[in-house]
Amino acid sequence: MTILSALSERLSVRRASDLPQAPGDAPAGPAGDAELPFAGYDGLDDSQVIHGLSEHSQIELEVVESYERSHKNREPVLDKLRWMRGREPLPGYDALDVEEIVAVLGDADLATIKRVRAYERKFANRPAVLDEVVRVHHRSLAGRPASANPSYQPMSASAMDASVVNSRGDRTERGQP
């Protein structure tokens, strides 16, 4: 079973009500909240918005960026969004829970494992996922054939003991000036 087929299977089994709602789908609270990226967004200062961005999916970050550009246009928030926006390591990754990600990692290749690790560190930073990444990565490396010793070998210590470099940079035998 390939990673993508496993992912598709898991996503198709998931009920629509289990998937996170898009930010615009949330019921409107106070007047005007319906178009906010998330509830209370306009009441947050730059640092509060920046701190909370890692809790949102790529789709939600796109909505935040669009709203921010058209309304407040705060440069620090837009800078953070530029840094955080990127491709998910697997299609639909943000909709997966920890158990589903761990299951997908079992069949993953090294490049996918590295993408998941980088993405997870940047966003959710979930210990269970990062631990599984390490375990699968080690298992993947253990399955590789051992590499040959490099052709370059440093001089042995006994050969080094026979000569010494003096203060002028000349090589001399031990005991000679």
Q: Show me where the domains of the chain are located.
A: 1-14+92-144
Predicted confidence at residue 166, as pLDDT, reads 60
Q: Is it the case that residue 4 has pLDDT exceeding 50?
A: no
Tens-digit pLDDT profile for residues 92-146: 998 999 999 999 998 899 999 999 999 999 888 899 999 999 999 888 888 776 6
24 touches 35 (CB < 8 A): yes
Q: Is it the case that residue 69 has pLDDT exceeding 60?
A: yes
Measured CA distances, 88 to 91, 100, 106, 160 (Å): 6, 15, 18, 53
74's tokens: 């705060």
**pTM for this predicted structure:** 0.56
Q: Taking the CB of residue 170, how many other CB atoms lie within 10 A of it?
A: 11
> Is the C-alpha dihedral spanning 40, 45, 51, 54 positive or negative?
positive
151 touches 159 (CB < 8 A): no
- CA gap 145, 5 in Å, rounded: 29
Kind of pairing between the strands at 171-173 and 163-165: antiparallel
Task: Give residues with Cβ within 8 angstroms of 162, minimum separation 6.
Answer: 173, 174
Predicted confidence at residue 118, as pLDDT, reads 93
> Is the C-alpha dihedral spanning 46, 47, 51, 52 positive or negative?
negative
| Residue among 86, 92, 113 at smallest CA distance from 102 | 113
Average pLDDT value for the chain: 75
Q: Is it the case that residue 25 has pLDDT exceeding 60?
A: no
Tens-digit pLDDT profile for residues 136-177: 988 888 877 666 555 665 665 445 545 555 666 666 665 555
Predicted confidence at residue 97, as pLDDT, reads 92
56 touches 64 (CB < 8 A): yes
Half-sphere exposure in the Cβ direction for 159 (13 Å, CA): 4
